[in-house]
Structure 1
Amino acid sequence: MAMSSVMEQETRVHVVDGDLDYLYYADEPEEPPLPRKKVPTGDIYEAARAGDVERLKVLLERGANVNVRDAWDSVALYYACLAGHLDAARMLMERGAICSENTFDGDRCHYAALNLRVRKLLKVFEARPPPLDPLPRSLRELFLSSKSNLRYVEGLQSALHEDNIFLDQSLPSKSFLGDSFSNEFNPDFVMFVHGQPIEAHRAILIARSSYFKSKFEKDWKYKKEVRLSNAKLTFPALFSLIQFFYTDRLDVAVEDMEDLARICKVCGCTGLQTAVEKELLHQKYAEYKHLRNVDDSQRRFILQGSSLPEEERLPCAMRKLLNLSLMKSKGERALSNKSCTMQSSAKINCSTVANNTKISESPEGMLLRSTLCNSAQCSKDNNTSDMVMQDDHADVAFVVEDTMFRSHQVILAARSDYFWARFCRMKGFKENDVELVQTDDVALPVLQENDLNTGTFEHLLEYMYTDQLSRLDPNQAEELFDAASRYLLFPLKKVVADALLPHLESATPAELCHWLLTADMYGVWKLREYCLDTMAVNFKIFSETKEFRRMLCQLPPPSGESSQRTSAPSAPGGESKGNQGNLLDDLRDKWLEAEGAELDKRDESAVQFDRMLEMLVVTAQREAYEEDDSLASVMGELEVA
C-alpha cells in the first residue's frame, strides 16, 4: 500500500530535470537550433519573437514587465513559444512569466508551442512556479503561521491534488513557524466571513489597502475581530486577496474571480481589479476543450504582483509603511524637543512676567502670560502634527545613537531569525534592559542597538521592509555586510553588492584590493568574482601598485589544499559556491582564462604565474623593510632633535 501511494504521488508530480537541458521526447528527432535574429532596439515582444536572449536580458534587467500584454493581448512568452525559441522562453519563465495551462495566457502558450520541447518546458515550469522573493516569502510564512490560515491552505491543496491539479503554493518549512512563533507573534486581527476565520496583521493590511487603513482609524480601531456576512462576499475570494497582500502573488479559483473583483473595488486595489476583470473577459470567451468536465473551482488564475502598477506592489506598500514609521519617529522627536524648549522658555518668561507687576496687570501682559504658558501644548507645525496623529501600529522602538526608530515586531521577526529570537526572549518586556516609552497612549518597548550608526540601521530597516536599498553610500557597504551577518540577513549581502558594483567601475586598484579582502571575509561571492575578474584582466596594472603587492603578503600561497583556504565554501552568510577556495588559486585560474593559454601549455603558464607572485611578494617584503628603516631613521632624528 505504501509503495502504491508513492507511485501515485510520483505520477502526479512533474519531474524537473537537473539543468532543463534535455527537453525533447524520444519520438521527436533532435533538430538544429532555430536561427536567431538581433533586435538591438526592439521591445520585449520583438526580442522574444526573434529569440534574442541578449536583448531580452537587457530589457528584463531594466525592469520590463514580463507579463505585460501588447495591443493584441499577447505576452512575450507567447511569441517565444510560437517561434520555438527554447532559451528565450526559459529566460522569460525564470523571470516570472506565468504559463499555467488553465489561464488565458497559459493556454495560448501551450496551443502555440512550435514543438514538443517547448511544450515540455512549459509543463516543467508549471509544476515548479518561480520562487518568491525574500520579502514575500517571509511574509507568506508569517501569514501561514496562523493555524486557521494554514489549515485552509492545506485543505485546498489536498482537494486539488486529488484532481491532479497543482496549486501555486508550497507549505512553509521554517522551524520557527511552530507554536512558539504563533504564541509570540499572533495576528492581531481576525475577520470571520460566514463563520470562517481569516487572521491577519493590522500593519500589513493598512500598508496594502486604503479601505483597511480607514477602518482601523475609525470603526475598527479598538476591535480585534469583525464578522462579515454580506451575501456577495465569499470566503475564498477574500482569503485570496489577503494572501496576495502578504505574498504579492494572486492565486484564485476562476469561480471566485467575480467576487474578487468586487472586493478589490471596495478595498481600493484598482490595478488588481482591472487585471482580474480583464482576465474574466478572457475566461468568458476562452474554450477549454480539454477541460470540459472540470468546473471553475478547479481552474486557477495566477497573477504576479510585477504585472500591476508600481504603487500596488508589495515593496512600494511596505515602503510607505516604513516611511510613515520613520516620519512619525522624527515628528515625535521634533515635537518632544520643541515641547521641552517651549516649556523651559515658558517657565522663564512666566516668572519674569510675574515679577513685573505692570505687565502682569495689563491686558497685554495677561495675554502674553497665557500665550507663553500654553505654547508648550500647542504646535504651529500642522504637517508634523498631522503626521504624528497617523497610526502606524508600531509595537517596538529602537534607539541607535540617541535616535529612536519605530518599527513592527512581526515584520522584523519574519525577516530575521535574530530579531525573532530577541523578541521571544523579552518575555513580555519585563527584562531589566527593556524600557518603555509612552507614545499615542501606547507603551512601546525600547531596545538599544550598539556599535551601529543611524544611517546603517535605517538601511537595514529599509531592506527588511522592502527588499531594496536606495541611495547607498559605498562607505556604508562594509558596515552593512557586518550587519547582515550579525542580524542573520544573508540575502542583504547580495543586494549591497549589486548596489556597490556600479561604484567599483571607477575604483582604484587599492580600493579593489580592499573590497576583494572584504568580500572574501564576508562570503560575498558576486563582489569577490568581480574583483578577481578585474585583477586577472588587468594583472600588469595591479602588479605595479604597492597595495596589491601588500595584499599578496597577507594571503596564503597558491595551493589546492583545503587546509590553506582563506575562507571555507560554507562561510556563515556566504553564498554556497563549492569552488570558492584560496584567493590566489582562483586568481590564477581567472588569469589563465584571460590569457587564453592552450590546454597543453596550461601547466607551464600556471608555474609562470606562481613565479610572478613570488617575485611580487619578495618586492613587497623589501618595500616594507625599507619603509621600516626609513621610519626608524626619522624617529631617531626626532629624538636627537
Structure 2
Amino acid sequence: MDKHELFSSCKKGDLSRVRYLVEQKDVELNVRDKWDGTPLYYACLCGHYKVVHYLLQNGAKCDANTFDGERCLYGALTRKIKNLLRNLKVVTSKIMSRDHYSEFLRRAFETAEISDVCFVIQGEKINAHSSILAARSEKFLNMLKENWKLRTEGELISMDKFYVSYSNFKAFLKYIYTGVLDLDISDIEAFLHFINDFGFNNLVIEIEKRLKRKRKRTSFTIEFNQEFYKKDFYKLFLSALPKKYKEYNSMSDFDGAEFADLHIQLQDQVFACHKVFISGRCEYFKALLLDHFSEVEERAESKIHAIKLTDINPDLFIYILQYIYTNTVEINRDDVLDLLSLADMLILTGLKKQCSTLVGENLSVDNVVEILQVARLYNLPRLETQCTEYMAIHLEEVVQQPAFKSIVLQDANEIQERQETDTIAVIDDIRYHIASSTKICFSSRKFVLIESLLEELKLDA
C-alpha cells in the first residue's frame, strides 16, 4: 500500500518518491506503523535532512513538548536535523510552501499571461488583467469603464500623473493580486496618497503602523491573509453567472461581465468568465484554449472566445466556478459525488480533495462499500484508507452487507495466478487497521469474523 511505500521512501531518503506519494497520491503524512513510528520519525532517524524539511513544510506533526516531537529530536541522526526541529516555528511560518491558489495568483501577476491592460510608468511597462483590477479596486473599475474604455487595443495607459515610482506601483499591483506588499519607503508620502486614492485605506493604516515600529528600515513586507481579498474574487465569480441564478447575483452589485473574455455555454446557459482564472486554475480549460480544440470558437464581433460543452450540468458548474475563483466552496451533500466526478474530469485536484473530505465525514455502514469503490475509481487513497478503517471499526455490521461480500469477491478475482503470498486487497487493509489501531477493540474477535467470511466465500487469504 502507498503508506508502506511512504515509510520505506522516508527511510531511504527518496525525496522524489515522497513528493509523488504526498502530492499525487495524497498519502496521509502523519500515519503510524505498528511501532507507533511516523514517516517524519524515520526520516530523522536515518538522517535525511531534505526529506525531513519537506515533511515539515507539508504538515508533518512535530510539536515541541510532545511525544512525537521529543522522539524525532532525540532520534535525529545529525545536528543539522536537530537544529531544524528546534527551529520548527521558524520553518513553519517562514518556509511554508505556497498553496496552489496563492501560486496561481503569484504566477498570474509575474507572467501576466492573457493580460489585456498595459501600464507605462517612468518609461517602464507593466501588464495586468482588467478583471482582477476591477474586482479589487472601485477606482480601477471606474477608470476601466470610463477613462480608459475607448483606448485602442494594445494602447498603453500612462500612470505618471499619479507621481508614484515604478517600483512601488509594481509592488501595489502585486499586492492587488497576492495580498503581499514589498514596499520601498523612499517615496512613501506619494505612495500613501496614491493607494488611498484607489480605495485601500486599510493598507494605508497598516503601512503607517509599520513605519512607526520600523523607523530605520528603508523597505519592508506586509502579507495579508487570503481571506482578506478572496471576497473581491468572489464578486468576480458572481458576475460570471447567468441571469437564471439571480439568487447568487443579488448578493453583489459588482458587474464584471463586461471584463469577461471567455463565454462557456452549458446547455442553454452562458457563463461570462475570465480567462486569467479559467485557464490559470484549470488545466482542462487551459488545454482547450491553448490547443484550439474544436469546442473553442472566437466570436468576431466581440473577440471573446467561446466554449460550448454538452456534458456538464450548469448547476454543478457553479461549484466549479466558485472553486476556481475563490479556492473554497460549500458543497451540498446531495451533489458531492456528481461534483467529485466532474472535478476529476476537469483535473481539479484540490476540489477533488474537498469533495473527498466531505464524503469521508459522512461514512455509514450502508454506504462505505460504495464510497470505497468511488475512492478507487477517482484515485483517492486517503478516502480509501478512511473506508477500510471504518470497515475495520464496524466490522460486525459491515461483514453482513451483501455489497461487502461482493467487493471481497471482486478483489479476490482480480488476483491473477494467485500464489500463497497473495492477499485480497480489502481484507489485507482491514487486517492492517485491526492490528495497528487503538480505536478498534476486541481485535481477536474481528480476525475470527474475517476468517469466517473467507470460509463462507470459499477463499483463502
- In the superposition, the TM-score normalised over structure 2's length comes to 0.70
1:304 paired residue number: 224
Quick one: which of 318, 325, 348 aligns to 1:465? 325
1:495 paired residue number: 354
Quick one: which of 313, 320, 323 aligns to 2:238? 323
Q: 1:190 to 1:119 in 2, by over 3 A?
A: farther
Q: Which amino acid aligns with 2:451?
A: R
TM-fit CA distance, 1:453: 1.1
- 1:415-564 alignment runs, 5 A limit: 415-426=281-292, 434=296, 442=302, 444-470=304-330, 472-502=331-361, 504=362, 507-556=363-412
| Separation (CA, whole Å) in 2 of partners of 1:617 and 1:199 | 67
2:198 paired residue number: 267
Q: 1:20 to 1:257 in 2, by over 3 A?
A: farther
Runs of 4 or more consecutive aligned structure 1 residues displaced over 4 Å after TM superposition? 20-23, 33-36, 115-119, 122-126, 253-260, 386-391, 433-438, 557-563, 595-598, 604-610
TM-fit CA distance, 1:554: 2.2
Q: Which amino acid aligns with 1:268?
A: G
Q: Which amino acid aligns with 2:345?
A: R
Q: CA RMSD in A?
A: 4.3
Contact 1:193 1:235 in 2 (8 A): yes
Q: 1:211 to 1:21 in 2, by over 3 A?
A: closer
Q: Which amino acid aligns with 1:318?
A: F
1:170 paired residue number: none
Q: 1:227 to 1:561 in 2, by over 3 A?
A: farther
| Separation (CA, whole Å) in 2 of partners of 1:392 and 1:125 | 42
Quick one: which of 138, 145, 149 aligns to 2:104? 138
| Separation (CA, whole Å) in 1 of partners of 2:92 and 2:256 | 44
Contact 2:126 2:170 in 1 (8 A): yes
Contact 1:136 1:248 in 2 (8 A): no
Contact 1:501 1:527 in 2 (8 A): yes
Q: 1:141 to 1:436 in 2, by over 3 A?
A: closer
- 1:595-614 alignment runs, 5 A limit: 611-614=451-454
TM-fit CA distance, 1:585: 2.2
TM-fit CA distance, 1:464: 0.9
| Separation (CA, whole Å) in 1 of partners of 2:188 and 2:375 | 48
TM-fit CA distance, 1:592: 1.5
Q: 1:129 to 1:597 in 2, by over 3 A?
A: closer
- SS of the residue 1:529 aligns to: helix
Quick one: which of 114, 118, 129 aligns to 1:201? 129
Q: Which amino acid aligns with 2:96?
A: P
1:265-298 deviations in whole A, cap 9, x for unaligned?
Answer: 12212333322222222112xx7xxxxxxx725x
- Counterpart check, 1:615 vs 2:455: yes
Q: Which amino acid aligns with 2:387?
A: C
1:347 paired residue number: none
Q: 1:194 to 1:487 in 2, by over 3 A?
A: same
1:191 paired residue number: 119
Contact 1:249 1:305 in 2 (8 A): no
- SS of the residue 2:51 aligns to: coil
TM-fit CA distance, 1:233: 0.6
Q: 1:613 to 1:193 in 2, by over 3 A?
A: farther
1:585 paired residue number: 428
- 1:80-99 alignment runs, 5 A limit: none
Contact 1:560 1:582 in 2 (8 A): no
2:60 paired residue number: none
Quick one: which of 277, 284, 294 aligns to 1:411? 277
| Separation (CA, whole Å) in 2 of partners of 1:16 and 1:442 | 55
TM-fit CA distance, 1:525: 3.0
| Separation (CA, whole Å) in 2 of partners of 1:612 and 1:560 | 24
Quick one: which of 172, 190, 201 aligns to 1:241? 172
TM-fit CA distance, 1:490: 1.5
TM-fit CA distance, 1:322: 0.9
Contact 2:106 2:178 in 1 (8 A): yes
Contact 1:237 1:259 in 2 (8 A): no
| Separation (CA, whole Å) in 2 of partners of 1:616 and 1:249 | 63
1:216 paired residue number: 144
Q: 1:527 to 1:34 in 2, by over 3 A?
A: closer
TM-fit CA distance, 1:256: 6.4
Q: Which amino acid aligns with 1:142?
A: A
Q: Which amino acid aligns with 2:312?
A: L
Q: 1:392 to 1:617 in 2, by over 3 A?
A: farther
Q: How many residues align?
A: 385
Contact 1:188 1:200 in 2 (8 A): yes
Contact 2:239 2:272 in 1 (8 A): no
1:158 paired residue number: none
1:373-407 deviations in whole A, cap 9, x for unaligned?
Answer: xxxxxxxxxx99x9797644111212212222111
Runs of 5+ unmatched residues, structure 1: 1-14, 24-32, 37-52, 54-84, 88-114, 147-181, 288-294, 335-382, 564-580, 620-641
| Separation (CA, whole Å) in 2 of partners of 1:463 and 1:192 | 33
Contact 1:536 1:590 in 2 (8 A): yes
Q: Which amino acid aligns with 1:446?
A: A
Of the two structures, which has the highest relative contact order with CA contacts closer than 8 Å and spacing of 6 or more? 2
Contact 1:217 1:391 in 2 (8 A): no
Q: 1:596 to 1:426 in 2, by over 3 A?
A: closer
| Separation (CA, whole Å) in 2 of partners of 1:552 and 1:207 | 53
1:588-623 deviations in whole A, cap 9, x for unaligned?
Answer: 21122237899xxx9x9997575244135459xxxx
Q: 1:453 to 1:123 in 2, by over 3 A?
A: closer
Contact 1:207 1:318 in 2 (8 A): yes
| Separation (CA, whole Å) in 2 of partners of 1:143 and 1:588 | 50
- SS of the residue 1:510 aligns to: coil
TM-fit CA distance, 1:550: 2.4
- Counterpart check, 1:18 vs 2:46: no
| Separation (CA, whole Å) in 1 of partners of 2:434 and 2:99 | 35
| Separation (CA, whole Å) in 2 of partners of 1:244 and 1:231 | 18
1:453-492 deviations in whole A, cap 9, x for unaligned?
Answer: 112211111111111112x122322222222222221222
Quick one: which of 276, 281, 285 aligns to 2:207? 276
| Separation (CA, whole Å) in 2 of partners of 1:425 and 1:117 | 45
Q: Which has the larger radius of gyration?
A: 1
- In the superposition, the TM-score normalised over structure 1's length comes to 0.52
- SS of the residue 1:301 aligns to: strand
| Separation (CA, whole Å) in 2 of partners of 1:195 and 1:259 | 18
| Separation (CA, whole Å) in 2 of partners of 1:123 and 1:17 | 16
1:402 paired residue number: 268
| Separation (CA, whole Å) in 1 of partners of 2:105 and 2:310 | 27
- SS of the residue 2:437 aligns to: helix
